[in-house]
Amino acid sequence: MEQIEQNNSRELKSYDQYNWSSLFPLYRDYFKEKYPHVSDMNSSDDEFDDFLNDLDKKELYKAHEYLLKKLGTKEANYIACMEPGRLADGEHFFDYPTLFEFDEKWKEFQLSDLSRVEYLYRANEESIYDGIKESKNYIESLRNRNNIYMQGDWFRLIDEDDKMLYATFISAYYYLLDYAEDTLSSYIEELIPYDLVDDEDLLLESFNNPEINVYKANGREKELDYLTKLSYRFLSKKIPKIIRKLIDDERCKGKGFRVDEGYDGEKFDPITHFIFWDAESLKSVRTTNFLNDFNKIKSDNKCLEDIENKLNKYIRKEFGEIAQKVKVLFEEEKNNENN
């Protein structure tokens, strides 16, 4: 691969180089003309957090766009890393020549962190522990493979059409893992339609006590709970293996994919996923020249959609068989109770 030159990163500015005490006055000045009461707030006020949370999504989006441009560098797409804790104090996203170095350092940190917390879960929910072991085994396997970690860090940037993007930078593995989780959740709801109980106190209490049932499923609540627990094991045991097989696709190697959602239509809930297939794709993209470099490796989404379809079919077949057995089990139990 051709050697990529790196711009002088320390000359570039970005929103993520400012702490909240520096950003707060800029937010306050932006809003105070329309909302005079914010002039009396300070950076430590929960009231200002509440004010931001209550804003219309489009209005908050415009504020983020304004400050991204005010504090960032146009030549670097005004890019800013928004993932909490992802950059150490004094560290800049632009300190890393390419996305590969950015990912490598975090991968090693995550591996050490998983080792520290692993023992905490050995006596708890088995599926949670399995998930931690799976993540650890996956990261360890990357040491000797041409693959990546990139779990889905949050970024903001301005694209070629002068549109701000709320974005994730994510590997194909974790993108498909998220897809599988969403697909499985939707499939369970299709099999056993349910609603949340209309009891706010009970919903809050359930956060501290997972044994509390918060679903209405037309008498199938226990079956739903049992099937949901089985889905956690299915996600941690079966899905990672099939995803690894699916991403070993020659059509996608060295490629990147872009998926935009929620910018248009009635419901404004924007997100853009920049999906990286492997180490080669990360090495091709400089932190200081993100969009130009990414567009050179960007492929149409057909390969990604083909793999999603295969994953969907696998879930519906394999987990569908599990769900059918569970249904029969609970029907037999119900019949025995009635006899």
DSSP string covering 117-184 = HGGGGTTS-HHHHHHHHHHHHHHHHHTTSS----EEEEEEEE-TTS-EEEEEEEEHHHHHHHHHHHHH
Residue labelled with tokens 């931001």: 52
Structure tokens belonging to residue 176? 């498909």
- Residues contacting 257, CB < 8 A, separation 6+: 172, 273, 274, 275, 277, 298, 299, 301, 303, 304
Cα dihedral across residues 4, 286, 275, 150: positive or negative: positive
Closest CA to 104 of 74, 69, 139: 139
Residue labelled with tokens 């899905």: 239
Position 176 scores a pLDDT of 96
Q: Which long-range contacts (CB under 8 A, 24 or more apart) does 300-303 make?
A: 301/257, 301/258, 301/259, 303/249, 303/251, 303/252, 303/255, 303/257
Closest CA to 168 of 263, 289, 98, 272: 272
Position 243 scores a pLDDT of 94
- Residues contacting 58, CB < 8 A, separation 6+: 268
| Residuewise pLDDT in 10s, the chain (339 residues) | 444 444 455 578 889 888 888 999 999 999 999 999 999 888 877 889 899 999 999 999 999 999 999 999 999 999 999 998 888 888 899 999 999 999 988 777 766 655 555 544 444 555 555 655 666 565 555 554 556 889 899 999 999 999 999 999 999 999 999 999 999 999 999 999 998 877 777 767 777 776 777 778 888 989 999 999 999 999 988 998 999 999 999 999 999 999 999 998 788 999 999 999 999 999 999 999 999 999 999 999 999 999 999 999 999 999 999 999 999 999 988 888 777
Position 212 scores a pLDDT of 72
CA distances from 170 to 198, 251, 272, 288 (A): 36, 18, 10, 18
Structure tokens belonging to residue 83? 């993932």
Position 3 scores a pLDDT of 40
Position 4 scores a pLDDT of 42
- Do the Cβ atoms of 156 and 164 come closer than 8 Å? yes
